[in-house]
Amino acid sequence: MSLDRLISISDLKKIYTKKIKSILGIVNSDLRLLSSNFWNRSLEYPVVTEEVLAALILKFLLGLESSVKLGEILCEIKLSKLENFSKILKRIIASNELKPFNISGFLLFTDFKYPDTLSSEINFWNFWSERKPVEIKNFDEYFNDFMEFLSNNSLFIEYLKGLCNVDENTFNLLLEFALEKIVLVEKQIFKWYGADGFTTYDRKIYIKLFETDCPVMNKAAIFYVLLHELCHYFRRTSCLTWEDSRNCSTPETSIDGIPLSEAGNIFEIQFFGDRHRFLNKSVCEFFLSSTETLSREEYSTKFAFINRTRGRFFVSLMRGACLGEKNIVELSGCAFSKHRGYD
Ligand SMILES: [Zn+2]
């Protein structure tokens, strides 16, 4: 519901604290039951609308109830005309290819306890109130190239296999299954997350459609983000339910004295020497064409060395040269990493 602009925030806070408590008192037991059905549902089966709605609404209400920043949230709601909660829910439920993305994204980021995610919440709401159709693509045009890329870089395959402890055949099946379901999504969708990739609780991988003028750099960026997301995917292959997936954590690893527990970030640092904020054109070419049998250490040192400079802007007279964006493609990281504050 919309908030009366004339009422002060401190009064609104009192009113809403009472309202939320009273709503929860009435609906808590029903919502909890349905919500727990949702979390315990097998990832193999489609979600049940009623259960998803219950899980989302319960998360929303509990988030508000436990937030020490309720006043600020109400103030933001007031300023941003956030009367669209029901529209957001409808959109989540009605979406097709983006449904796992929407559900997982909402569950992950509807977290009102942390003030630093507040602006994301608001952007999220604003975003979902827009009615623009979303541009999406499947992974078909990259599928064969990515398989060839992996076969040229067995060090990545061995690492991913190690994350899931399955035999060769099962690994290949799981990989194929993941790639076939990848959705490439226009950058606007990822904008509010400040991310380029997202592996949902039900193991569907979404990657931003990179749109530099240079197809090689777009492809390199997609593959780079995909390797990160595949770490999340293979970490979760043994999960049976949404709840398992939510609780699937990565054991802490220390790299150069820094503790890390984000599967994709650990991979990036180990194989690329850093969590890169951009890829320059030279490293994109190296990354896509490398068939060298380097050790992980040699590969990561070389990768980081080549990518040490942001390309200088120059205007090439050659047709098809990579102009714009100074010969680099920007990277933002993954949504899980953002949510955990690794940035
Ligand atoms: Zn990640």
d(CA 292, CA 184): 29
What does the pLDDT look like over 234-258, one tens digit per residue? 999 999 999 999 999 888 888 888 8
Tell me the range of 7-11, 67-71, 126-130 where mean pLDDT is highest: 7-11
Domain boundaries, the chain: 9-129, 136-339
What does the pLDDT look like over 268-312, one tens digit per residue? 999 999 999 999 999 999 999 988 788 999 999 999 999 998 865
- Give the pLDDT score at 289: 93
Q: 197: CA distance to ligand 1 center in Å?
A: 8
Q: 271: CA distance to ligand 1 center in Å?
A: 14
Q: 11: CA distance to ligand 1 center in Å?
A: 40
d(CA 306, CA 304): 6
Terminal CA-to-CA distance of the chain, rounded, Å? 34
The pLDDT of 205-232, averaged and rounded, is 95
What does the pLDDT look like over 92-106, one tens digit per residue? 788 888 889 888 888
Report the predicted TM-score, pTM, of the whole model to 2 decimal places.
0.87
d(CA 222, CA 312): 22
Q: 332: CA distance to ligand 1 center in Å?
A: 11
The pLDDT of 133-141, averaged and rounded, is 86
Instruction: State the amino acid at position 78 in one-letter form.
Output: K
How does residue 340 score in pLDDT terms, banded at 50, 70 and 90? confident
Reported in sequence order, the residue ranges of the chain that DSSP labels E, i.e. its strands, are 136-138, 183-185, 197-199, 205-208, 253-255, 258-260, 278-280, 328-330
68 φ/ψ angles, rounded to the nearest 5 degrees:
-80, -5
Q: Which two tokens stand for residue 299?
A: 């590969």
Query: Is residue 313's pLDDT more than 70?
Result: no
Q: 196: CA distance to ligand 1 center in Å?
A: 10
- Give the pLDDT score at 95: 80
Q: 318: CA distance to ligand 1 center in Å?
A: 38
105 φ/ψ angles, rounded to the nearest 5 degrees:
-60, -45
More confident residue, 207 or 87: 207
Q: 204: CA distance to ligand 1 center in Å?
A: 13
Q: 334: CA distance to ligand 1 center in Å?
A: 5
What does the pLDDT look like over 168-215, one tens digit per residue? 999 999 999 999 999 999 887 787 678 899 999 999 999 999 989 999
Q: To the nearest whole percent, how much of the chain has pLDDT over 70?
A: 82
Q: Which two tokens stand for residue 121?
A: 């919440």
Q: 233: CA distance to ligand 1 center in Å?
A: 10
Query: Is residue 115's pLDDT more than 60?
Result: no
- Give the pLDDT score at 315: 46
How does residue 118 score in pLDDT terms, banded at 50, 70 and 90? very low
d(CA 302, CA 53): 48
